[in-house]
């Protein structure tokens, strides 16, 4: 079943969102990733899966930060999916929503960056389940935080952005432990695309 949120990203917002993400500050992006993975031995990460890559902003950052790790992606919209595959050395990929994705391999780091906020709440645990299954070690969730679930108007649209405590939902439903959590203040990190993002880093038990 296709959700209205999926149609929104596949058909209505794809071009403008990709344009918004075509410019970024690489130095700030690397600083953000060094903060989020500060408590990880980077030698453990031989592969990563970007769940919602768009045109590959974080693939580019991680290409610098983890140059020996293989890049893998999930992307819902066809044009950014194709651009990401064209611009970067992508080992494996899936075109479609996270909840429907399938891979034969597992990845050392599986992450989202402001993707779960756009997932229909009825599909949220299904998407998280896939992230958990795809990971061999770490899951990193970077989203907008609110203590209680709330819908926020997004680009003049209703039911396209949902804030909540994603970290609490994840740890209450999956066998994992918290490694680190923190906040990327937009005042510092806006130019790298991390605008007031709360992140949670989990390790599978």
For residue range 106-156, list pLDDT tens digits in order: 999 999 999 999 999 999 999 999 999 999 999 999 999 999 999 998 877
18 pLDDT higher than 70: no
Q: What is the DSSP letter of 106?
A: -
Q: What is the DSSP string of 6-42?
A: HHIIIIISHHHHHHHTS---HHHHHHHHHHHTTTS-G
- pLDDT above 90 as % of the chain: 82
- Residue 12: what pLDDT? 52
Percent of the chain with pLDDT over 70: 90
CATH number (domain holding residue 127): 3.40.50.150
pTM as predicted: 0.93
Question: 111 near 141, Cβ under 8 Å?
Answer: yes
Split into its structural domains, the chain has a count of 1
Asked if residues 144 and 173 have their Cβ atoms less than 8 Å apart, the reply is no
Cα(60)–Cα(19) distance, rounded to whole angstroms? 16
**Range from 59-63, 77-81, 179-183 carrying the lowest mean pLDDT:** 77-81
pLDDT of residue 25: 92
Which position has the token pair 């709440």? Answer: 121
Provide the domain limits for residue 140.
4-204
- Give the model confidence (pLDDT) of 73-111 as tens digits: 999 999 899 999 999 999 999 999 999 999 999 999 999
What CA–CA distance (Å, rounded) separates 174 from 107?
17
């Amino acid at each position: 079943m296709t959700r209205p949120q999926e149609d929104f990203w596949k058909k209505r917002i794809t071009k403008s969102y990709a344009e918004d993400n075509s410019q970024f500050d690489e130095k700030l992006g690397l600083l953000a990733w060094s903060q989020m993975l500060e408590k990880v031995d980077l030698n453990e990460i031989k592969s990563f899966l970007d769940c919602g890559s768009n045109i590959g902003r974080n693939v580019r950052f991680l290409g610098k930060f983890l140059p020996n790790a293989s890049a893998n992606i999930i992307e819902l919209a066809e044009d950014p999916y194709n651009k990401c595959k064209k611009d970067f050395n992508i080992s494996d990929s899936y075109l479609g929503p996270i909840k429907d994705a399938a891979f034969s391999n597992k990845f050392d780091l599986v992450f989202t960056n402001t993707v779960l906020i756009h997932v229909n709440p009825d599909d949220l645990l299904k998407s998280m389940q896939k992230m958990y299954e795809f990971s061999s070690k770490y899951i990193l969730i970077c989203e907008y935080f609110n203590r209680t679930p709330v819908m926020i108007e997004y680009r003049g649209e209703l039911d396209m952005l949902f804030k909540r405590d994603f970290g609490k939902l994840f740890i209450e439903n999956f066998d994992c432990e918290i490694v680190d959590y923190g906040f990327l203040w937009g005042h510092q990190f806006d130019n790298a695309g991390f605008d007031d993002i709360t992140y949670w880093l989990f390790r599978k038990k």
